[in-house]
Amino acid sequence: SATNQIAELLKIKTSEVIYTSGSSESNNLAIKGIALKYQNRGKKIITTELEHSSIYGPLGYLQKSGFEILFAPLDEFGRVDLEKLDDLIDDEVILVSISAVNSELGLWQPIAEIGKILKKYPKCFFHTDMTQCIGKMPLVKCNLENVDLAKS
């Protein structure tokens, strides 16, 4: 019943709901899982300088394993600069990991718009940490239509 409610709320299939013990495990599973499975496609990952430590932990591990971590430029409001993000992506980028809402500053990122940009790059997956989004802001701002992995 709970799985059905979650799937309905997020407008996803029940088979896409995966339970973990918490946020760190979820982010580790998503980030390391995609990076290690698809490293034959490229070894670049894009994130921001506003992420939670549960994002930086797996990224640090991957960096020590030969992955290159790039930081998306932010605009004057602390949001991802969409044009510069698009310019940063090349054929070696396999993952973009950007939190929907920053846990300390409350800044929300344009997840739907980022997802639309990333659809132009079929080798690139999009991961977003939505912990600070669910139940606190309208889900339209956290649209998952073009998101491959979401942690909430």
- Alpha carbon distance 114, 28 (integer Å): 21
pTM for the full predicted model: 0.90
Between 107 and 34, the more confident residue is 34
Tell me, what's the pLDDT at 136?
Answer: 65
Coil, helix or strand at residue 37: helix
- Alpha carbon distance 72, 82 (integer Å): 9
Give the mean pLDDT of 134-148.
69
Q: What is the pLDDT of residues 21-75, one digit of tens each?
A: 988 999 999 999 999 999 999 999 999 999 999 999 999 999 999 999 999 999 9
Q: In what order do the strands lie in the sheet with 68-71?
A: 68-71, 44-47, 93-97, 125-129, 149-151
